Amino acid sequence: MNDPEGVQYSINGGTFQSTPFFGALCPGDYSITMHDANGCTAASTVIVGAPTPVVAAFDFNPDTLFVSNTLASFDNLSTNNAVSFEWDFAGLGNSSEEHTIATVVRTTTAEW
């Protein structure tokens, strides 16, 4: 389909609009119709695909922490181009780095 002046566009028989952009579409087939002020019409079917889903995964090292070493390294192993990260260490802090290091602090209270 060409894009001459004065063209309006419709998707799946909906209301015509002046821009050829349709947002928030789910994967599937869509019928796009365009018409101009002269009454010329063109139609086409477009297919909107879905990106491969990201599979979240991580690794941590060491698998056991000791009082003498409270640092743990967390590494992203996610697939399919994960673009943002949010690590939450259950009240001990958080990070948005792809690979991060956390310090685990244990507090003990003694009563006499």
Please give the pLDDT value at position 2.
54
Query: Is residue 75 in some structural domain?
Result: yes
Query: Is residue 87 in some structural domain?
Result: yes
In 3D, which of 68, 76, 77 has the Cα closest to residue 95?
76
What is the number of domains present in the chain? 2
pLDDT in tens, 103-112: 766 555 556 5
Query: Is residue 112 in some structural domain?
Result: no
Q: Are 12 and 43 within one domain?
A: yes
In 3D, which of 53, 57, 33, 54 has the Cα closest to residue 43?
33
Query: Is residue 2 in some structural domain?
Result: no
Task: Name the pTM for this structure.
Answer: 0.49
CB contact set of 62 (below 8 Å; sequence gap of 6+): 69, 72
Query: Is residue 109 in some structural domain?
Result: no
Please give the pLDDT value at position 107.
55
Query: Is residue 110 in some structural domain?
Result: no
pLDDT in tens, 82-93: 778 788 877 777
Q: Are 37 and 69 within one domain?
A: no
Average pLDDT, the chain: 83
Query: Is residue 35 in some structural domain?
Result: yes
Strands (E), 28-76: 28-35, 41-48, 58-61, 71-76
Residue range of the domain that includes 28: 8-48
pLDDT in tens, 5-50: 789 999 999 999 999 999 999 999 999 999 998 889 999 999 999 9
